[in-house]
Amino acid sequence: MTEPAEAVGPLSDVRILDASNLIAGPLATMLLADLGAEVVKIEHPAAGDSLRNHGGQKDGQGLWWKELGRGKLCVTLDLGSLAGQDIFRQLASRADVVVENFRPGTMARWGIDFAALRAVNPSLVMAHVTGFGQSGPLSALPGFGTIAESMSGFAHRNGPADGPPTLPPFGLADTVTGITTALAIMTALWERRSSGTGQEIDVSIIEPLLTVLEPQIIEHDQLDRVAQRVGNRSTVNAPRNMYLSRDGRWLAVSTSTQSTADRLLDLIGRPDVLSEPWFSSAAERARHADELDEIVGGWVGALDHQDVLAACQGAGVPISTVYDVRDILADPQYAALGAIATVQDPDLGPLRMVSTPFRLSRTPATIRWAGPRLGAHNEIVYGRLGLTEDELEKLRDQGVI
């Protein structure tokens, strides 16, 4: 196999060794690969990344893997074997970053923890992504996004006021952790520019959602407040909810500023509400959410959704219909932003997937290829270490690669 085209992008001089599995770690390295980093993805020779069999499949190919594995050089390596550990140390000696998500202590047991790798590469940055972090009473336990969504307070806040705590139907905690991990890695690499030395990064899946969940900690600390479920409403302003149009489409409306609330009620034709003393306060409007929802819901329900959209957009009121994936793919705003990329894949042909979620004017991100086949780049990556074809064949026979 020939070497892939030389990487371009702002991180084209960064080498990452990705020994993580499933979502959070692989999402972080996917984002960095989009930006030009060379990511060598380590997978077990027999099982591969669990993501290959996670979610939708087509012709035996995992579609989620095709997205999160994109732009990576994929090699197989049994880290539980002595030969595999030796090869991993060689790869790490040439890397800038190692990302792993095994339970704390696993890498040390294999002789490839930060202390061992730093001995061969003092400038190495090593990111640990685990359920509960590297210390504390729960650190040795397995942890998934569902647990984080429960422990962080998200499930407690999510759902209707009169219903049970509600988990998200997708990997919310894992994806937020992946983005957080990418930021942490870039911060450590930036610091290394001045110090010349690497460091460890400890990311737990239970923490990033704490930042997403607004000021729940400080409000409880200072006001003894425990936030409760309020459905689609907001506790700090109103009207803010989902409203059903005459033609059966749900629309989301938000009035986070006083001027927006004024424009909406003026559009609806309710000067009597605008003149109420309580209407000039966001907190007071939130206390009158029932009344405001009845007014806005009645107005929306009497019109088709396109008429509601046109009226609100003309008045400067933030609004959107509730999209499903078909709406996203047809939306001209997403198209103008380039939010959906098309990637050519040798297994499935053209694939549409989410692109990098921001744009750089001078050094844009590039999706070089979709998630490759298991061990697709063994010869390339291990050839750089000087391993011959005969040596690689022997390692295959031994189950090391």
The CATH number of whichever domain residue 177 belongs to comes to 3.40.50.10540
pLDDT digits (tens, 9 = 90+) for 299-353: 999 999 999 999 999 999 999 999 999 999 999 999 999 999 999 999 999 999 9
Mean residue pLDDT of the chain comes to 96
Determine the Cα–Cα distance for residues 148 and 205; give it in Å rounded to an integer. Answer: 6
Residues 253 and 168 in one domain: no
Domain count, the chain: 2
Residue 261 has pLDDT above 90, yes or no: yes
Predicted pLDDT at 177: 98
- pTM score, two decimals? 0.94
Same domain? 189 vs 254: no
266 is catalytic: no
41-52 pLDDT, tens digit per residue, is 999 999 899 999
**Claim to verify: residue 379 and residue 272 sit in the same structural domain:** no
Contacts by residues 306-313 (CB-CB < 8 Å, ≥ 24 positions apart): 308/245, 308/251, 309/251, 311/267, 312/253, 312/264, 312/267
**DSSP state for residue 98 in the 8-state scheme:** E
Q: Is residue 147 part of a domain?
A: yes
Is 54 within 8 Å of 145 (Cβ atoms)?
Answer: no
Query: 303, 328, 353 — which closes off a domain?
Result: 328
pLDDT for the residue numbered 214: 82
Q: Are residues 298 and 344 in the same domain?
A: no
Both 290 and 256 in one domain: the answer is yes
Residue 78 lies in a domain: yes
Domain-terminating residue out of 305, 328, 351: 328
- Predicted confidence (pLDDT) at residue 1 exceeds the cutoff of 70: no
Shared domain check, 385 and 315 = no
Smallest CA-to-CA distance from 23 within 43, 51, 48 is with 51
Q: Give the residue-averaged pLDDT of 143-162.
A: 96
- For residue 51, give the DSSP letter: G
One domain for residues 308 and 382: no
Would the pLDDT of 102 be above 80?
yes
Tell me, yes or no, whether 227 lies in a domain: no
43 and 144 in a single domain? The answer is: yes
Q: Is the pLDDT of residue 293 over 80?
A: yes
Half-sphere exposure of 131 (CA within 13 A, CB side): 17
pLDDT, mean of residues 175-186: 98
Cα(157)–Cα(165) distance, rounded to whole angstroms?
7
Q: Are residues 156 and 277 in the same domain?
A: no
- Answer yes or no: do 166 and 29 share one domain: yes
> Are 254 and 175 found together in one domain?
no
Band (pLDDT 50/70/90 cuts) for residue 6 is confident
Are 129 and 270 contained in the same domain? no
Domain that holds residue 289: 240-328
Choose the catalytic residue: 162, 174, 262, 304: 174
**Side-chain-side CA neighbours of residue 140 (13 Å):** 2
For the stretch 226-254, pLDDT in tens is: 999 999 999 999 999 999 999 999 999 99
Residue 86: per-residue pLDDT: 98
Q: Which domain CATH number covers 282? A: 3.30.1540.10
